[in-house]
Amino acid sequence: MASIRRGALKVGGDVAVEFANTADSLRSWRDLVDFLELREAVTRSEGAALRVMGERDARHCAAALDQGLRLRETIRSMLDAIAAKRPLRAGWVAEINQALAWGAGAPRLVRHDAGWRLGFAPDVVDPRRALAPIAQAMADLAASRGGGEIKRCANPRCILYFRDASRTRRRRWCSMAVCGNRMKVAAHVRRHGRRRSA
């Protein structure tokens, strides 16, 4: 889990948004499973089963990872459209629906901390089932019309999206500690640089 944990900056506020933000950090099946486990999209026992699947059937898991990377591009396109308040394309929706079908199974209660949460019990051995929770999160975003909450970071050099859950819905940066601070420092330098030159 070290490779994902090291670069894991949870700014998206949603599994689908954070998956879109993974950029180039998903290089292996194990990275994908680590991502899902860290975001609580799968339980530890489901993560362990997916890792074993990766060891037993590396070829199919590598193909599933490739499909996951294509799904990530579709999700990025959808988030871009939602943030810009544009309609979603039928092809994108079809890809999400296909990924939802990969997780065919049933919901179940699973232990979570001191209590329970609703989890998902896949009834297939297809490694693409790992992508179903991500597709579910994207489908929930699209269906909830929460598009006003999805934004792209205001830093023109940043590629990250986030779900704005602030009270005023005026959040501009993926992270105040990263992009917000950089942009404010740059603005400060521009303002004070102009004063000195004048």
pLDDT value of residue 74? 98
In a domain, 144, yes or no: yes
In a domain, 183, yes or no: no
Report, as an integer, the average pLDDT of 53-72: 96
In a domain, 14, yes or no: yes
- Domain holding 108, by residue range, is 2-170
Q: What is the CATH number of the domain that holds 155?
A: 1.10.3300.10
The string of pLDDT tens digits covering residues 15-62 is 999 999 998 889 999 999 999 999 989 889 889 999 999 999 999 999
Residue 110 identity (one-letter amino acid)? V
Compute the distance between CA of residue 151 and CA of residue 153 in angstroms, rounded to an integer: 6
In a domain, 68, yes or no: yes
Strands 150-152 and 115-122: unpaired
Confidence of residue 12 (pLDDT cuts 50, 70, 90): low
The full DSSP string for 119-178 is EEEE----GGGGGHHHHHHHHHHHHHTGGGGEEE-SSTT---EEE--SSSS----S-III
Report, as an integer, the average pLDDT of 166-189: 72
pLDDT value of residue 38? 93
In a domain, 30, yes or no: yes
In a domain, 102, yes or no: yes
In a domain, 179, yes or no: no
Report, as an integer, the average pLDDT of 61-87: 95
Number of domains in the chain: 1
C-alpha angle with apex 155: 85 to 189, nearest 5 degrees? Answer: 145
The string of pLDDT tens digits covering residues 92-136 is 999 999 999 998 776 778 777 788 877 766 666 789 999 999 999
Report, as an integer, the average pLDDT of 132-161: 85
In a domain, 189, yes or no: no
Q: Which two tokens stand for residue 141?
A: 């975003």
